[in-house]
Amino acid sequence: MREQQLPVCCTSIFHYKIFARIPVATIVALKAAKSSIQVIERMMGLLEALAQHPAPVNLKQLAGETSLHPSTAHRILGLMVESRLIDGVSCIGAGIHNDEGRLVAGLSVSAPSDRLNKDWATNVQQTADRISRAIGYHTPV
């Protein structure tokens, strides 16, 4: 049986999402192991704030609730995903440009962070370039 987890979604100011499911046991264990090291205290604050939100919460709100700068909260959340304290969804994206060279859309591929293959970036970029050309974009000479 899967361990009980708290669902959360953090939308960053950098336009990508971290979807996380925090195991309740992880929160309890980390609270018990809380030390005076600043990054651990900040991480604990983020975990506690995330646990308070059963619905999605954006990064700016989360940073405000923990008195962290959004870039600090973003960095710590990224480390938590990398260390598998929380599960994350990452994406690779590329812009689509129209015949005037203006960015009109984006193309992205999302996957669980541990399964996202960074080699996909080339395919995403090439596909976005093909779509751009199909709607009239020409690479400047």
Q: What is the pLDDT along the chain (141 residues), one digit of tens a residue?
A: 444 444 444 333 333 344 455 666 666 665 655 554 778 888 888 888 888 877 767 889 889 999 999 999 988 888 877 777 766 677 889 999 999 999 999 999 988 877 888 899 999 999 999 999 999 998 877
Same domain, residue pair 61 and 126: no
What is the DSSP pairing of strand 17-23 with strand 5-11?
Answer: antiparallel
**Are 38 and 103 found together in one domain?**
no
Domain holding 101, by residue range, is 91-134
Same domain, yes or no: 107 and 81:
no
Q: How confident is the model at residue 7, as a pLDDT? A: 42
pLDDT value at position 123? Answer: 94
Q: What is the pLDDT of residue 22?
A: 60
**Contacts by residues 124-127 (CB-CB < 8 Å, ≥ 24 positions apart):** 124/92, 124/93, 124/94, 125/94, 127/94
Instruction: Output the pLDDT for position 110.
Output: 87
Q: With respect to residue 139, please indicate whether it lies within any of the assigned structural domains.
A: no
pTM: 0.51
Q: What integer pLDDT is reported at residue 14 of this predicted model?
A: 36
Residue 44 and residue 108 in one domain: no
74 in Cβ contact with 103 (< 8 Å): no
The total number of structural domains in the chain stands at 2
CATH code (residue 59) = 1.10.10
Q: What is the pLDDT of residue 13?
A: 35
Does residue 99 belong to any structural domain of this protein?
yes
Residues 73 and 103 placed together within one structural domain of the fold: no
User: What pLDDT is recorded for position 43?
Assistant: 87
Burial class (CB in 10 A: 0-12, 13-18, 19+), 57: middle
The verdict on 42 and 95 lying in the same domain is no
Domain annotation covers residue 141: no
64 plus 95 within the same structural domain: no
